[in-house]
């Protein structure tokens, strides 16, 4: 190992294993890691972040590992807790189920010693042994999620959900990691790309599990998708919402000008109203998600969102919401007065009633958006007047 590390770090390598009921495999994992330490003269440590109900922690401790108990359950929480205890210059991450071959640790460390900040062990560039990954994950789940992340963040990963990784301690400290679940795997890669870390991939082997998988395919997949959408809410949420709103407005205006709504085009007019109301809600939700992303450090405050996070901008939304609500109420009142003028007889004001509904509901949505946006920004230093 690089002797320079001895002057700045207590250890060369820290290997972190999150574990959940892995008593059958933890011993094999540790034996491989210790062999790598011995054969490569590595001064290292093994940290097991144990959330098990079986004897995993006891076995790991008896074999020389430092065993810690995360306060919160979850894949990400295990790593976030263990990172605070790591003393090595290089930090290796891997699962305790023996699906990754820890004898391949040197393959991850070599690029780090040559200047890389983060190394990903790619199963898809290496060997996926028979029975180690089912068809749903191999041909649909992992490729689709990897493609989605690459497309949104302009990255070129081949295996975004590989759990076998290595990172320098300096690079790790640059990443604002916070998610506690399986989406932690995506968060690390997204943050690494945003921080412009030097990232390399190396081919690795992936083996069948000896115990039942703890993954929940659809739930965990949704967590990754949800995280990615949170990181980029405007193009994937706000923009479609804006298009829905625009189409709805055009439909309503067109048939209002054309006339005869109640007799010929009522259903299309109602469709336009639904698109407007739903579209506005989606747009505002996208703005709120973007603000949340900025507040938690996932995105930078720039462009339109910077304007939206200012006090006076939110006052404008409050005024707009109040104006729309008032306009809707006045239209509704006009319908009521016409009903009175006919001595409570039959009237045909369905289109006006729909328009009144759109104004009132949209106004309430915008008003509440401004209030909630203000609440999220209460503790922000940059919430300027």
Per-residue model confidence as pLDDT tens digits over 106-125: 999 999 999 999 999 999 99
296 with 347, same domain: the answer is yes
DSSP 213: -
Query: What integer pLDDT is reported at residue 2 of this predicted model?
Result: 43
Query: What integer pLDDT is reported at residue 102 of this predicted model?
Result: 98
Instruction: With a cut of 50, say whether residue 5 has pLDDT above it.
Output: no
Q: What tokens were used for 225? A: 């998708």
**Domain endpoint, select from 230, 263, 295:** 230
Contacts made by residues 70-74, CB under 8 angstroms, sequence distance 24+: 72/180, 74/180, 74/181, 74/182, 74/184
Q: What is the pLDDT of residues 35-85, one digit of tens each?
A: 999 999 999 999 999 999 999 999 999 999 999 999 998 999 999 999 999
Of 18, 31, 198, 16, nearest to 92 by C-alpha is: 16
Q: Kindly report the CATH number assigned to the domain that includes residue 51.
A: 3.90.550.10
Q: C-alpha distances in angstroms, 310 versus 282, 305, 313, 317?
A: 21, 9, 5, 11
188 with 296, same domain: the answer is no
83 with 197, same domain: the answer is yes
- Cα angle 73, 74, 80; round to 5: 95
**Domain endpoint, select from 183, 207, 230:** 230
**Rounded Cα distance, 22 and 43, in Å:** 25
Is residue 381 one of the residues assigned to a domain? no
* Residue 303: domain span: 232-376
Is residue 385 one of the residues assigned to a domain? no
The answer for residues whose C-beta is within 8 angstroms of residue 374's C-beta and 6 or more apart is 314
Q: What is the pLDDT of residues 289-329, one digit of tens each?
A: 888 888 877 777 767 777 787 777 788 899 999 999 999 99
Q: Cβ(47)–Cβ(14) under 8 Å? A: yes
Number of domains the chain is built from: 2
Q: What is the pLDDT of residues 243-267, one digit of tens each?
A: 999 999 999 998 888 877 877 788 8
**What percentage of the chain's residues is helix, strand, coil (to nearest 5)?**
55, 15, 30
Q: C-alpha distances in angstroms, 267 versus 174, 255, 261, 274, 303?
A: 55, 11, 9, 11, 39
Q: What is the pLDDT of residues 217-238, one digit of tens each?
A: 677 777 778 887 777 888 888 9
9 with 65, same domain: the answer is yes
Phi, psi (rounded to 5 degrees) for 47? -115, 120
Is residue 43 one of the residues assigned to a domain? yes
Is residue 383 one of the residues assigned to a domain? no
Q: What is the pLDDT of residues 22-48, one digit of tens each?
A: 999 999 999 999 999 999 999 999 999
52 with 186, same domain: the answer is yes
242 with 370, same domain: the answer is yes
**Domain endpoint, select from 206, 230, 254:** 230
């Amino acid at each position: 190992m690089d002797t320079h590390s001895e002057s700045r770090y207590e250890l060369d390598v820290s290997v972190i294993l999150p574990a959940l009921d892995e008593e059958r495999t933890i011993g094999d994992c540790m034996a491989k890691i210790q062999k790598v330490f011995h054969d490569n003269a590595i001064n290292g440590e093994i940290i097991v972040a144990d959330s098990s109900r079986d004897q995993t922690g006891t076995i790991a401790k008896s074999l020389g590992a430092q065993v810690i108990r995360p306060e919160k359950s979850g894949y990400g929480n295990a790593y976030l807790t263990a990172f605070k205890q790591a003393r090595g210059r290089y930090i290796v991450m891997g699962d305790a189920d023996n699906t990754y071959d820890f004898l391949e640790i040197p393959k991850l460390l070599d690029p780090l010693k040559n200047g890389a900040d983060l190394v990903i062990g790619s199963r898809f560039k290496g060997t996926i042994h028979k029975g180690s990954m089912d068809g749903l994950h191999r041909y649909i789940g992992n490729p689709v999620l990897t493609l989605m992340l690459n497309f949104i963040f302009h990255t070129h990963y081949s295996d975004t959900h590989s759990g076998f990784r290595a990172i320098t301690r300096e690079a790790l400290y640059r990443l604002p990691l916070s998610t506690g679940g399986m989406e932690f795997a995506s968060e690390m890669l997204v943050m690494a790309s945003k921080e412009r870390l030097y990232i390399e991939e190396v081919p690795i082997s992936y083996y069948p599990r000896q115990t039942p998988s703890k993954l929940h395919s659809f739930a965990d997949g949704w967590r990754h998708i949800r995280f990615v959408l949170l990181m980029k809410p405007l193009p994937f949420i706000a923009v479609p919402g804006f298009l829905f709103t625009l189409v709805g407005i055009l439909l309503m205006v067109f048939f209002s000008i054309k006339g005869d709504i109640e007799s010929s085009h009522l259903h299309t007019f109602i469709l336009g109203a639904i698109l407007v109301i739903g579209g506005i809600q989606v747009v505002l939700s996208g703005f709120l998600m973007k603000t949340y992303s900025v507040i938690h450090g996932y995105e930078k405050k720039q462009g339109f969102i910077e304007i939206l996070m200012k006090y006076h901008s939110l006052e404008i939304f409050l005024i707009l919401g109040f104006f729309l609500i008032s306009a809707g109420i006045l239209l509704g009142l006009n319908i009521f007065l016409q009903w009175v003028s006919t001595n409570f007889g039959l009237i045909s004001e369905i289109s006006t009633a729909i328009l009144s509904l759109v104004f009132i509901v949209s106004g309430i949505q915008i008003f509440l958006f401004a209030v909630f946006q203000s609440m999220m920004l209460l503790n922000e230093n940059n919430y300027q007047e």
